[in-house]
Each structure stands twice: as structure tokens, then as C-alpha cells.
Structure 1
């Protein structure tokens, strides 16, 4: 009996070993089927629609200015004797603003008048001599050459008298110019002259903002050229701005472009120098529509930024131009973009061209 059991156990050992070897193979075949089918199935992706964005705007502060701001300066040099105005004061045309010490100017006028009197006396003497020479010439006691010399002397003294008379006029005008008067009605936005100060010809001592049209002065960043039109925001009221002039070059210190805009409607309740709010549509981007997408939809692998869209069940890249980026959204532009078009909004760094994908909306719909 024991011998028969031993023989049976020896015959079953190879069969048991064969079964142990085939079981893992069968289990591996059963597990490989689902993995292979999962790899071949399309990958589910999240999508988001393109949202058209309005044209980009630029909000800047400006300063309210007068159309004509005239520097006020003396036409003659001298020492300021009196000052009659202050900054911010409204003045009328012809009103005296400053006066110079007239002492030197009065002396110059007196000297010019004395020179004129001497020239007139010399002319009287020359004319009397010419009259006597004419009588001598008629009697034959004087030569024609001497008489012509006397005539030339009269002309010379007459010219000197005219020059002296002109210098008297200049000296009188200089004395009148010792009083600096307002050239027009307006407001003095700056006054720098002080009594006792010595000023030269043309040195500005005040700045007069004349009555009339008002403008807004705005400084634009160097990267943005001032547009042709804009808006002045005064509460709920919007006033159209039309560009009148732009500086020929950017300011080297602030790297800004200075531009002046005229107001197309009157502005009340504001004073010169007030800071106002303006808004402009950037001309370089107004002609192209921008689209808003989640920032995760951007894929910057390869050459430049791009989006991914689903074309016939496959992921395909779409190059775009990046306009602006914030923490949650990005604004892009480019050819082939349309509002409402779906793009892949998550996991774009894992996509490859031609990868089989399906929008997650289709999975959630059932």
C-alpha cells in the first residue's frame, strides 16, 4: 500500500509543476486585454470656448491746459521794481503785471533827446551856410564845387537829425516797455518774477493762459503711439478728444510721448491744471479681434504660443499671438480663431499632434 502511494505521488509531481507554470501566463493574458483596449481608446479632455474681447483700451491721466499759453517777458533788460499779480490771478488785457526801475531808461531818453537837439541845431547852421553860399555863387564869389560841398553838408546833418529822432523814439518805447502788461484776457498759471530781480530781454517772468479753447495734455508710454481720438471721462459724461499735436520725439527722461488733445465740447467746473481721466483705444490693436481663454489652454512648447483644437477626433495645434496674460486668463489673436470655438483648456502640455481625444462634455452628457 505504501509502495503504491509513493508511485502515485511521483507521477503527479510533473503535472502539478506544469499547472503552476501555466497559471501566471493565463492571468497575464487576462490582464493584458483591458490595458491594450484602454491605450487604444481616445483620451478625454476638457474644453472651453473662445470668448471675443473688446478692443484694448488705455486709461491715462491728463492735465487740463489752455490752447494758448504765452510766456510773459520784458522787451528791455533791467531790475524789477514792482510786482502787481500772483499765480492763479485772472487779468484783463492791458493790465500792468510788473514794472522795471525806470532810472536808466529815463536817462537814455534824456540823452537821445539831447542828441536830437544837437542834430537839429547843426542842421540849422548848415542850412544858413548853404543860403549864404547860394548868394555868393550867384554873384560869382564862390565856385560851383564849394557850393555842392555845402549842399552835401546839409544832407548829412539832416540824416543825423533823423537818426537822433529815431533814437528818441526807441528810448521812449523802452521806457514804455518798463511796464509789462497782459497781452490778452486770461489766467496767470505761473509767476516767477520778484521785486529786485534783474531780468534780461525775453526772460519769462510769468505765463498767461489765454481765454478760449481748452485742451488736455497726456503723456503716453514710449511703446504706445498717441491715437487720433479718445475720451475725457467726467463722471458719467464722456467728451470726445481729437489729437492736435504730438511731440516730435519721446522725452529722454521719462520715455513718454507728449500729446495735446482738443475738447469737442465745453468743460465746466474744472480749472486749468486739474488732473483729468482719459481713455483711448490703442490703434495698433483695434483692427484685430482678441479672444479670451483660460491660461491653462496656452501651450508654449516649440516655436511660440499655441492652442489645441479638436479636428475630427484628433488634437491639432493652432499658432496664436499672445496679447496679454493674467493669473487666470490670457488674451490671444490669430488667423482662424472664431468666437465660440472650443479649444482644449487643460493638460495641453501632454498633447501631441494627431492624438485621439474626445471632449469631456460628451462623457458627461449621458
Structure 2
């Protein structure tokens, strides 16, 4: 037992060191391939110098790690119950395997169904999310995108697993409601303040437009990405990652990588050349692994997948940053 106590911290440190090394290699690969230019369709960032575009995800990671510290402080008296909500390791391993296979098939289905309707390939974000795009989605594209993702990544997995597991076992219950809501509020206030300081475009909307665009943006992204993310990654996969690894750092990293892998074809991606394709895929992992890791950590600490969805997804960023884009998509301005 004493050997295990001493081994656990060293194992966690080793995982963190390897992760930081991987992060550095990822950044270096992007710099080498890009030759000072990122070929992405991101008009909101077009005036930003190359070095800052590459550095932004790392700045974001620093903030996400700081937020993890805040969450750790707020949940320090809560025991972890996640391992008690999952099946045996053998069952968990099989469930992880077939869930990941299903997720990849469903994502490939979005790449087919989007163009079949005359739209762009679907990912976990609609074209224009967060960074803008040269050709906005139509109302029909936004609606079909949200509907497909909600059915494929939320409804189907939830119904499949709900046959055998309760909402508590799927981390969809506020079993510590006071602390859960406190974490939601604190994270939401901090993240909203950071995003409003960096991007004030929501305030450029007339008040009458904002009052329609903000709830509309909340709703579109709730069904298109927030609930699919919450169910597939954090209600189903993350607890099983923890069961298989027994490691919080490794589970957090796996959750982040899974979240990033669901965004492989973004609206801003470029696939014109092999270099552009490699840059697009690498930048997806650079951009989304950090947020996915934070969502993982919050879920591990609270045992409640709703906490990250409400505190760090539905409002910030997809209402605060994306309301102006949704206002243009639905011809409100």
C-alpha cells in the first residue's frame, strides 16, 4: 500500500510531463508546416499576427489550468464517486471501444449528410463558430446541423446506455446541488469575463437584436454541440476512461483528446494540399484539447456532466461570442 501511495504522485507527474512535451511538439510541428501563414478561413482573426494565432491556444491552456485550480479549491471537500458509477473494467473497455467506433461513424455520417443537403460537412461546430467564416451558414444548414448532431451524438447514445445505467451512473444528476451550482456560477463568471474582455462583438448588436440572437444562439448550440458533447464524451466515455486508467491526469487528457477528435472537419479547415490538411488537423487538437481537458476535470471533480455544459460551454462561449454570427445567419441584422 505504501508503495502505491508513493507511486501515484510520480505517475501523475510523468503523465503531465509527457503531455507538456506533446503540446510543445504539436506547436513546433505547426510552426514548421505553416511557414508563417495559417491557411484557415477565420476572418475574425485575420488581422492577428501569425505568432499570436499559434500562441492563443497555449494562452487558453494556461487559463484552463488556472480554472482547474479554482474548481479544485471549490470541490476539495467532495469525495470522488466516479469509479462507483461505472461497470467492471472489462465491460468499461468494451463500451469505450464500441462508443468510439460509433462516434467516428457518426462523424463520418455528418461529412456525408451535410453535402447531401447542399451544406458543408458537419462537425461539432457549425461553420463560423467562434472565428467567423467567409460564407455564413443558412438557417436551414444551422437547423439540420443541430438536429443531426443532437440525434447522432446525444439521443442515440443516451437511449442506448440508459437501458442499463441510471442518470446518476451517467453523471447527469445534481447529487451535490449547492456545490455544483456554485462551481457553475464561478466558472461562468470568470470565463465570461475573460471572453468579454477579448471579444466584445456581442455588444455591437442593437439591444432588440441581442434579446433575440442570444437565446437563439444558446438553443442552436445547446442541441448542436453542448448536449452531444455532454452525453457522448462526459456522461459515457469519461467515467469509463477513469475506470480503465485509475488516473485523473490521464483521464483528463483522454477526455480532451476525444473532445478534439470530434472537431476534425471544422468550418475553417483547409484541405487543398497535404500541408493544409495536416495543419488543419493539428490545429484542431491544439485548439480543442485544452477546453476538452477542462470539461473533463470539472466532471471528474463534481461527478456531474451538467456543470461543464452550463458553466463552460452553452453560455461561454456559444452565447457570448456566437450570438452576432447567429444573428447574421438568421437574418436578424
TM-score, normalized by length of structure 1? 0.14
Structure with higher strand content? 1
Q: State the structure with more CA Rg.
A: 1
TM-score by length of 2: 0.15
Higher helix share: 2
